Amino acid sequence: MLQSWDPTLVNPCTWFHVTCDSNNHVIRLDLGNSNVSGTLGPELGQLQHLQYLELYRNEITGKIPKELGNLKSLISMDLYDNKLEGKIPKSFGKLKSLKFLRLNNNKLTGSIPRELTRLTDLKIFDVSNNDLCGTIPVEGNFESFPMESFKNNRFSGPELKGLVPYDFGC
């Protein structure tokens, strides 16, 4: 699959599963269900024109690099069905163009960063089947996400503004 990813080739636009725009900027990585293993490198955060990061249903391990929060053009991030662990980076709150964030079926821990409630374009958010804790945000678009998006975690319920700290029970 990744045999075409020859590091000596200057132009990654010639690689399979990489889509570029007319200016040869990488705008899409389509490696879902591709038997990819290993960790995500912080260098992914340098793909400033990337709009779609599709890495679902693989064997990716380790933490999600905070540098992915630098992907200002990102519309969709699909990292579901991997073996990712650690916390959801607070830097994801900078992804103002993000519409789809699917992190379900991993081993993520910690609470949902409140910075994500500022993502006004976010339409789909799924963190089900992880080991997240604390309370579920109720601000912004979070009030409209179905409860199925949060199932099979250790949440202590929706946030009660001012009464229960968001990381209660973590």
Confidence of residue 1 (pLDDT cuts 50, 70, 90): very low
| pLDDT tens sequence across 55-77 | 999 999 999 999 999 999 999 99
Residue where the block lists tokens 């992915």: 68
In-domain check, residue 10: no
Contact criterion met (CB below 8 Å) for 147 and 121: no
What CATH code is carried by the domain that includes residue 51? Answer: 3.80.10.10
Report the alpha-carbon distance of residue 25 to residue 11 in Å, rounded.
9
Please state, for a pLDDT cut of 90, what percent of the chain lies above it. Answer: 81
Residue 162 is predicted with a pLDDT of 56
**Cα angle at 162 between 160 and 163, to 5 degrees?**
60
Structural domains counted in the chain? 1
The two tokens of residue 82 are 């991997």
Confidence of residue 12 (pLDDT cuts 50, 70, 90): confident
| pLDDT tens sequence across 70-98 | 999 999 999 999 999 999 999 999 999 99
In-domain check, residue 76: yes
In-domain check, residue 165: no
In-domain check, residue 3: no
Report the alpha-carbon distance of residue 66 to residue 88 in Å, rounded.
8
Domain that holds residue 151: 18-160
In-domain check, residue 101: yes
Can you give the C-alpha Rg of the chain in angstroms? 17
In-domain check, residue 107: yes
Contact criterion met (CB below 8 Å) for 34 and 56: no
Q: Does pLDDT of 116 surpass 60?
A: yes
The whole-model pTM stands at 0.90
Question: With 0-12 CB in 10 A as exposed, 13-18 as middle and 19+ as buried, what is 155?
Answer: buried
In-domain check, residue 167: no
In-domain check, residue 92: yes
Residue 164 is predicted with a pLDDT of 55
Residue 170 is predicted with a pLDDT of 77
